[in-house]
């Protein structure tokens, strides 16, 4: 069981958790993620590690309510526990001095991009970050990203903050202004990553994306997270999650991510009827296990 | 084969009479009923039936059953104790060599090992050794108080076991009995590795695995879940920072292989590992009470590609989830199938449609990314290949389309790279499996041993257990002498 030390909403529907996970905190490197299961009947889902504190033995997760599991998770508070957290998973980001790096963070993807951005900055790169979201309220980690970027550009779809438009508009502008770009890192919704890949492909700018397909074990055992890379199957959990964007078949990724849409809708509808009852089940189960664990572990 | 001896036998039946007793039938759920549930197919022997079966043993002087057993279970001796009605002593006798009797009694391919060499089998029908092992193990579970298990005197040595599958559990059991402190690391949230995620409830109930693991806890084995060795902690950190004196790597051949044919990325195409993990580990068949989803199979056509135990586990699970048609597509003939004989029999009884000498060459799509079928090709058998089995050769012009909603690929696995790629100095072969000595299970790294599928590639539970036993023996030797 993994104790939640702190939990706070940082944007509507987006919550940051500080979780006690000693082993993961010690080993986390930028670009890696965890898989969690909330309770005995829960599914296993991959989530972003926003940062780790090896001294305190904690990791931060940034979670956007999307389906039943994330909605349920975002009802949990400090003092609650999560049944299973495993990680850090995936290959760490490649960190070296590339020159000028553009980091594109879309929505909650910014949380995954943040530790890699910080590491790229520390490695001596000139970092230009572009954050985008639907509206002002959904721009996250603006201050943190600003601290590790040489310049920070922001776009919102509705124009409620900074510049109205898409992250790719900004990227275009940068490229057209003659800025030499050695590497682009894009983390966000799949259509955004696909659009970024399309923009940089023409100029042959090396572009890395961090993929988040449906996963179960996260150790390379099930192959559910396979993505088409140069038309061959690779596993996001062990071969990724970062891949060369120009080799990824994004349409297949979008198609595979929709595989359980019907079941997800059903789960969600059932959850929304009585969210507090579901929360009660999770809390009761974990309390019972907590009592047991004192004896067993 | 040596002639049977009778000296000192506890068996009241004269030798000649024993051959007249037919092999005792294993009661099972009727095929029609069990095809609709996930409860165990086999129901187990009663005390009387077990004793009657045990009396069939010819008590060979050099029993092939033990010689052919990868962990060397003293079959003749435990069977004699069954005849005598001392079932707990029989269980203790098995446990001298096998820490997972309730599991091997259910999933071992006995025809390839103990029962394959049985003299009775050459004359009439082999002794039901697997059934007897299962009976004895279940009897022990119901009657033995595990709190009274005696623990060995501590040696002060610490051993880390990486992976809680059959090889790891076996090594752990043997080592804890020698008094070593044994700590098992597991990546998933349940103990058992492939026993938990791979083998379905109807063949090996989770409760059985939990009981066998509880027995090991009572023996003193420690378990830690959520540790992906190589990621959460490395082998070097286990040695240097956590001060383990020896390491056993039993991580299995987890990585599923795909066929490399068009359409494998379509929605509806699964690896057997994913399909079975969703069902077994994640209880997707209990959706929405459990949250992990699964495509709805009710009334759908489902095919598995492959002819091993995993393939049959997958397709029989699909049937239990309501599949209207359930096919096995296998490119060789039934004689070459690697699945356990009993599973093939059970699958046929349940109505699985075996399309042998058939292989898909393409998965077909509805144009929106969903599977609609497989383009298949009929095969004929040619000359034997490197595996000694006759090679399937496509028959020109035999292509046909099989409509399908779900296809499950069960053509084997390859090496999971996580431990190898994070452990300097650990040597691997060209297929990525860990190099380990066949008799001592030693790797190229001092104090590090490996065994099971991560060394041999996909094999069986009992072969992995055999490797676990050999490793435990040489780990104990290494800890005692320090010699490498």
Residues B28-59: pLDDT tens digits? Answer: 999 999 999 999 999 999 999 999 999 999 99
Classify residue B116 by burial, with Cβ atoms within 10 Å: 0-12, 13-18, 19+: middle
Q: Which residues does chain A have within 8 Å of residue B216's beta carbon, measured at their own beta carbons? A: none
Residue B307 in contact with residue B339, Cβ under 8 Å? yes
Q: Which of A41, A216, A256 sits opposite B289 (nearest CB)?
A: A41
State which residue of chain A sits closest to B284, comparing Cα positions.
A43
Strands A163-164 and A151-156: parallel
Proportion of chain B above pLDDT 90, given as a percent: 89
Q: Which residues does chain B have within 8 Å of residue A264's beta carbon, measured at their own beta carbons? A: 293
Q: Which residues does chain A have within 8 Å of residue B369's beta carbon, measured at their own beta carbons? A: 252, 255-256, 258
Closest by Cα among B414, B410, B436, B413 to B423 = B436
Complete DSSP assignment for B148-199: GPPPPPP-S-EEEEE--SHHHHHHHHHHHHTT-EEEEE-SSSSTTTHHHHTS
Q: What share of chain A is helix, strand, coil (3-state, %, to 5)?
A: 35, 30, 35
| B70, two tokens | 């990868």
Where does residue A274 fall: left (phi above 0), alpha (psi -120 to 50 degrees), or beta otherwise?
A: beta
Provide the number of CB pairs (under 8 Å) joining chain A to chain B.
Answer: 128
Is A199 strand, coil or helix? helix
Q: Which of A87, A264, A296 sits opposite B231 (nearest CB)?
A: A87
Q: What is the pLDDT of residues A1-33, one digit of tens each?
A: 999 999 999 999 999 999 999 999 999 999 999
pLDDT band at A296 (very low <50, low <70, confident <90, very high): very low
Q: Do A219 and B265 touch (CB under 8 A)?
A: no
Q: Which of A32, A41, A226 sits opposite B290 (nearest CB)?
A: A41
Counted residue by residue, chain A has a size of 297
Cα–Cα distance, B199 to B359 (Å, whole number): 24
Residue B132 in contact with residue B216, Cβ under 8 Å? no
What are residue A60's DSSP bridge partners? A18, A51
**What's chain A's average pLDDT?**
94
Q: Do B288 and A233 touch (CB under 8 A)?
A: no
Q: Which of A42, A219, A256 sits opposite B267 (nearest CB)?
A: A256
The pair phi, psi for residue B345, each rounded to 5°, is -60, -50
Q: Do B264 and A88 touch (CB under 8 A)?
A: no
Q: Do A255 and B255 touch (CB under 8 A)?
A: no
| B426, two tokens | 């650990």
Cα–Cα distance, A128 to A148 (Å, whole number): 9
Residue keyed to tokens 């990546």: B187
Residue B23 in contact with residue B128, Cβ under 8 Å? yes
* Confidence check: pLDDT of A283 > 80: yes
Q: How far is A138 from chain B (nearest CA, A)?
A: 28
* Confidence check: pLDDT of A294 > 70: no
Proportion of chain A above pLDDT 90, given as a percent: 95
Residue to substitute from A2, A3, A46, A223, interface B, most B β-carbons within 10 A? A223
- Rounded average pLDDT over B363-388: 94
Q: What is the reported pLDDT for A297? A: 35
Q: Which of A219, A226, A270 sits opposite B418 (nearest CB)?
A: A219
Is A104 strand, coil or helix? strand
Q: Which of A86, A216, A266 sits opposite B288 (nearest CB)?
A: A266
- Rounded average pLDDT over A257-266: 93
Q: What is the pLDDT of residues B380-398, one digit of tens each?
A: 999 988 888 889 999 999 9
State which residue of chain A sits closest to B194, comparing Cα positions.
A221
Complete DSSP assignment for A45-56: EEEEEEEEETTT
For A112, B129, B359, the CA distances from B117, given in Å and listed in that order, are: 58, 11, 34
Residue to substitute from B160, B183, B189, interface A, most A β-carbons within 10 A? B189
State which residue of chain A sits closest to B283, comparing Cα positions.
A41
Q: Do B265 and A256 touch (CB under 8 A)?
A: yes
Give the single-character DSSP code of B360: E
State which residue of chain B sits closest to A249, comparing Cα positions.
B265
| A119, two tokens | 């590491």
Chain B positions contacting chain A at CB under 8 Å are 187-189, 197, 217, 225-228, 231-233, 254-256, 258, 260, 264-265, 267, 270-271, 273-274, 277-278, 281-283, 287-296, 368-369, 416-418
Q: What is the reported pLDDT for B329? A: 98
Cα–Cα distance, B454 to B429 (Å, whole number): 11
Q: Which residues does chain A have within 8 Å of residue B260's beta carbon, measured at their own beta carbons? A: 232
Residue to substitute from A2, A36, A220, interface B, most B β-carbons within 10 A? A220
| A124, two tokens | 């001596």
Is B101 strand, coil or helix? helix
Residue A121 in contact with residue A145, Cβ under 8 Å? no
* Confidence check: pLDDT of B123 > 90: no
Residue A29 in contact with residue A88, Cβ under 8 Å? yes
Q: What is the reported pLDDT for B75? A: 97
Q: What is the pLDDT of residues B66-88, one digit of tens each?
A: 999 999 999 999 999 999 999 99
Residue to substitute from B228, B251, B272, interface A, most A β-carbons within 10 A? B228
Cα–Cα distance, B220 to B222 (Å, whole number): 6
State which residue of chain A sits closest to B272, comparing Cα positions.
A222
Proportion of chain B above pLDDT 70, given as a percent: 98
Q: Do B416 and A220 touch (CB under 8 A)?
A: yes
Q: Which residues does chain A have within 8 Å of residue B277's beta carbon, measured at their own beta carbons? A: 216-217, 221-222
What are residue B371's DSSP bridge partners? B365
Q: Which residues does chain A have within 8 Å of residue B295's beta carbon, measured at their own beta carbons? A: 259-260
Q: What is the largest CA-CA distance in chain A?
A: 64
What are residue A8's DSSP bridge partners? A16
The interface pTM score, or ipTM, of the predicted complex is 0.94
* Of the candidate ranges A130-134, A151-155, B405-409, B455-459, the one whose mean pLDDT is the lowest: B455-459
Q: Do B293 and A44 touch (CB under 8 A)?
A: no
Q: Which residues does chain B have within 8 Å of residue A222's beta carbon, measured at their own beta carbons? A: 256, 271, 273-274, 277
Q: What is the reported pLDDT for B380? A: 95
Q: What is the reported pLDDT for A292? A: 67
């Amino acid at each position: 069981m993994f104790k939640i030390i702190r939990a706070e909403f940082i944007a509507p529907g987006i919550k940051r958790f500080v979780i006690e996970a000693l082993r993961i905190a010690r080993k986390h490197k930028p670009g890696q993620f965890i898989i969690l299961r909330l309770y005995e009947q829960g599914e296993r889902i991959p989530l972003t590690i926003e940062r780790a504190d090896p001294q305190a033995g904690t990791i931060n997760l940034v979670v956007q309510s999307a389906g039943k599991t994330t909605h349920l998770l975002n009802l949990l508070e400090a003092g609650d526990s999560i049944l299973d957290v495993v990680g850090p998973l995936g290959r760490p980001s490649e960190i070296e001095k590339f020159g000028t790096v553009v980091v594109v963070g879309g929505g909650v993807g910014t949380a995954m991009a943040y530790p890699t951005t910080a590491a790229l900055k520390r490695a001596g790169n000139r970092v230009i970050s572009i954050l985008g979201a639907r509206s002002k309220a959904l721009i996250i980690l603006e201050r943190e990203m600003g601290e590790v970027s040489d310049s920070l550009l922001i776009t919102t779809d509705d124009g409620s903050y900074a510049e109205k438009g898409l992250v790719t508009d900004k990227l275009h502008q940068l490229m057209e202004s003659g800025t030499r770009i050695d590497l682009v890192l894009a983390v966000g919704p799949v259509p955004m990553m696909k659009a970024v890949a399309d923009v940089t492909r023409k100029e042959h700018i090396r572009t890395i994306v961090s993929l988040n397909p449906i996963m179960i074990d996260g150790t390379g055992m099930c192959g559910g997270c396979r993505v088409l890379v140069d038309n061959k199957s690779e596993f996001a959990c062990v071969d990724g999650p970062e891949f060369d964007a120009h080799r990824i078949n994004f349409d297949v990724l979008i198609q595979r991510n929709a595989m359980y849409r019907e079941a997800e809708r059903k789960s969600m509808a059932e959850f929304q009827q009585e969210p507090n009852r579901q929360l009660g089940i999770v809390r009761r189960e974990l309390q019972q296990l907590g009592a047991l664990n004192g004896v067993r572990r | 084969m040596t002639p049977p001896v009778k000296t000192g036998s506890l068996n009241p039946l004269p030798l000649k009479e024993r051959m007249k007793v037919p092999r005792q039938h294993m009661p099972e759920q009727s095929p029609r009923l069990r095809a609709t549930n996930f409860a165990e197919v086999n129901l187990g022997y009663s005390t009387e039936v077990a004793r009657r079966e045990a009396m069939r043993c010819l008590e060979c002087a050099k029993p092939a059953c033990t010689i052919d057993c990868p962990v060397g279970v003293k079959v003749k001796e435990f069977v004699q104790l069954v005849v005598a009605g001392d079932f707990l002593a029989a269980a203790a006798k098995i446990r001298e060599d096998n820490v997972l009797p309730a599991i091997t009694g259910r999933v071992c391919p006995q025809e390839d090992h103990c029962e394959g060499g049985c003299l009775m089998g050459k004359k009439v029908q082999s002794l039901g050794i697997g059934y007897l092992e299962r009976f004895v193990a279940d009897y022990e579970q119901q009657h033995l108080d595990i709190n009274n298990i005696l623990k060995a005197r501590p040696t002060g040595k610490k051993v880390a076991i990486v992976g809680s599958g059959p090889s790891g559990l076996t090594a752990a059991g043997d080592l804890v009995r020698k008094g070593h402190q044994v700590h098992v690391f597991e990546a998933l949230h349940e103990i058992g590795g492939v026993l938990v995620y791979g083998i379905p409830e109807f063949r090996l109930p989770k409760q059985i695995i939990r009981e066998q693991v509880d027995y090991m806890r009572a023996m003193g084995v420690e378990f830690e879940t959520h540790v992906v060795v190589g990621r959460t902690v490395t082998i070097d950190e286990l040695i240097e920072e956590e001060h383990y004196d020896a390491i056993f790597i039993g991580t299995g051949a987890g990585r599923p292989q795909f066929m490399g044919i068009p359409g494998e990325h379509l929605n509806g195409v699964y690896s057997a590992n994913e399909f079975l993990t969703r069902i077994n580990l994640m209880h997707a068949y209990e959706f929405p009470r459990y949250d992990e989803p699964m495509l709805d199979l009710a009334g759908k056509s489902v095919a598995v590609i492959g002819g091993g135990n995993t393939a049959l586990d997958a397709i029989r699970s699909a049937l239990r989830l309501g599949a209207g048609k359930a096919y096995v597509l296998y490119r060789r003939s039934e004689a070459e199938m690697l699945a356990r004989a009993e599973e093939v029999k059970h699958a046929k009884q349940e109505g699985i449609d075996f399309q042998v000498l058939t292989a898909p060459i393409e998965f077909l799509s509805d144009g929106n990314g969903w599977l609609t079928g497989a383009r298949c090709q009929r095969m004929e058998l040619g000359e034997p290949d490197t595996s000694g089995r006759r090679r399937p050769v496509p028959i020109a012009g035999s292509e046909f389309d099989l409509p399908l909603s779900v296809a499950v690929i069960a053509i084997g696995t390859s090496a999971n790279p996580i431990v190898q790629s994070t452990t300097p100095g650990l040597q691997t072969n060209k297929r990525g499996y860990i190099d380990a000595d066949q008799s001592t299970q030693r790797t190229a790294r001092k104090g590090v041993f490996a065994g099971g599928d991560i060394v041999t590639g996909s094999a069986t539970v009992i072969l992995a257990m055999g490797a676990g036993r050999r490793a435990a023996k040489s780990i104990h030797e290494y800890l005692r002498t320090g010699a490498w």
